[in-house]
Chain A
Amino acid sequence: MKDYNFFSVFEQKQSSRGTQIAKAALAALLVVALVAGAYIWLTVKYNDTVAQTDEINEFLASPSAQAAMQQADEYSNNISALNRYKNMIDEAAKNLELGHLFSSRVMDDIASALPSGAQIFTLNVQPDGALIMVVSVPDLATAARLTDAIDNLACTRDISVGTAIYLETSRTYTVTLNAYLTGGEEQ
């Protein structure tokens, strides 16, 4: 009959169960440690992010940073206002230029276009650019040349003749010419 060591078998069973429990406990501890470690890491990360934000905010709220920002805002506002002011001025100047048609050039042009024998009695320019000339000429041929010359000037448009009256005393014709200075239609 073969002998069996029943105690040894029991010991082996006892040892195997204890190891299993120990392994299970170790595994559980490991899981708990991992979970706790992850939680702690996340908390540290959160606190670190908040701390970074607070640090930047504190820097941005410092008097020196605020003063620099205020200075930059002031410069920007000034630049904007000055550019708008310049645009307004340029626009106003342009409108004035378009609205004013008379200059010494007009007189020079008229003087250079007068035919021989013609003499201006009066010349009147109105604010709207209307030009009225009363001119003395020796004959109707000169009156026609005068009308043609004034009509062909670059600075006049819409010319019309009011009257051409013969004066017995001076033996000349007095011609009334009406026209408009050019440029007014651009307003």
Chain B
Amino acid sequence: MKVSKRDLILLIAVLFIGVSYVLAMFVFKPIINKIDDAQQTLEQTQARRDKYLATVGNLENLATQQNTANDEAMAAAQQFLPEAAYDNVIWFFNTLAQSEDISIDAVSFSGPEIKQTLTAGLEDGSISAALDNIGNTVRENLGRGEPLSVSEYLPMYGAADTALTCLTVTVEVADVSYDKAMGVIRYIEQYGRKIYPESVTFSLNAKTTAGRVDATIDYSFYYVVKPDVTDAGMQQVQPGANYGTDNPFR
């Protein structure tokens, strides 16, 4: 069979198109797809690297931000006492009595009780656990001593999480001048902690000279657990000179 030149050109053209199609579909398209996928993966990886580099570059700033946040949190918490300790409260009223030159007739206690559970709403755990970590990180950074466990405080109050705790202290003074009675109130107001008078009763002392009063005030001492135990709270009890006796009933 004789093939004309025109047919030959046609045949070659068809063959060229066919081969081109096969090459495009089964050789080049797959590798171009693979390159696209690899390029996307590379871009995502580069984005992760850029984020990492930005983060690492910002590490010092983050540390500063953490310290600032810690300072601000501690400053806010400073208005609350760190722990409900009976001995320190009694010592506090002893100091108050000396300072105001007043005789305190009675100090009685009720509580402590949990007034409010402070939930932070953290997604990855309770605020207590978070505060443990923060407290220890900060203490480590500042070279402070023993590790802190905020959680240790919580069973004391039966709280599952950070709690606002209240110790109610009733203080009674009798047969004092009005100024002295007001001195008690002002001393506690100026103490700078969350200590509030819940109920107050002033009454004229009828047995002595006019103008002298009896006063009974129920105070609420509010406490919160803090991530940094540098707040010593109320003035600590000072040890006396002598301890111990042969006869504890003598």
Contacts and interface: CB of A to CB of B under 8 A. Distances in A.
A59 B38 CA distance: 18
Interface in A141-184: none
B7 to A, nearest CB: 16
Q: For this complex, into which size category does the number of interface residues on chain A fall?
A: 35 or more
A42 B204 CA distance: 101
Nearest to B134: A78
A105 to B, nearest CB: 9
Interface string A104-127: 100100000000000111111111
B199 A39 contact: no
A119 B178 CA distance: 12
Contacts of B133: 74, 77-78, 81
B98 interface: no
A70 to B, nearest CB: 11
Nearest to B197: A102
B198 interface: yes
B49 A59 contact: yes
Given A79-B62, A79-B66, A122 B203 contact: yes
Q: For this complex, into which size category does the number of interface residues on chain B fall?
A: 35 or more
Contacts of A119: 204, 210
A72 B66 CA distance: 10
Interface in B94-126: 116, 118-122, 124
Nearest to A110: B202
Given A39-B27, A81-B120, A49 B73 contact: no
B28 A38 contact: yes
Interface string B44-58: 011011001001101
Contacts of B182: 104, 107
12 contacts: A69-B55, A89-B73, A89-B76, A93-B80, A100-B196, A100-B197, A104-B186, A104-B189, A107-B182, A107-B185, A122-B201, A124-B202
Interface of B: 23, 27-28, 31-32, 34-35, 38-39, 41-42, 45-46, 48-49, 52, 55-56, 58-59, 62-63, 65-66, 69-70, 72-73, 76-77, 79-80, 116, 118-122, 124, 127, 130-131, 133-134, 137, 162, 164, 182, 185-186, 189, 194, 196-204, 210, 218, 220, 222, 224, 227
